[in-house]
Amino acid sequence: MLFIDASREFADAKNQNLLTDAHLDKMVATYRAFQTVGKYAYRATAQEIADKDFNLNIPRYVDTFEEEAEIDLGAVKKEIAQLESELVTVRQKMAGYLKELGL
């Protein structure tokens, strides 16, 4: 059995998403090739389906997980310190402007 996860194959539209000819062509080509395609399609054996208690939920077979980029905590800490410093400067300027306006 071939599982195809085409949930990301669409063009954004105003009220509802659209399938383009390119999306349909990709789905049909994948079906005809009947091969596993990373993060898109998986060719499962009857034994694999039985091992998963005959659950035909696509995410059980097609892994679409994307690793998130690692966050550099040191750089984030440095950026926060810089932003806090800029905020102090802006608040001082604003206080000066308000004083000039008599507020």
Q: Per residue in 80-100, pLDDT tens?
A: 999 999 999 999 999 999 999
Contact 86, 94 (CB under 8 A): no
Q: In the chain, what are the domain boundaries?
A: 2-60, 70-103
SS3 68: coil
Span 22-73, pLDDT tens digits: 999 999 999 999 999 999 999 999 999 999 999 999 999 999 888 888 999 9
Contact 9, 19 (CB under 8 A): yes
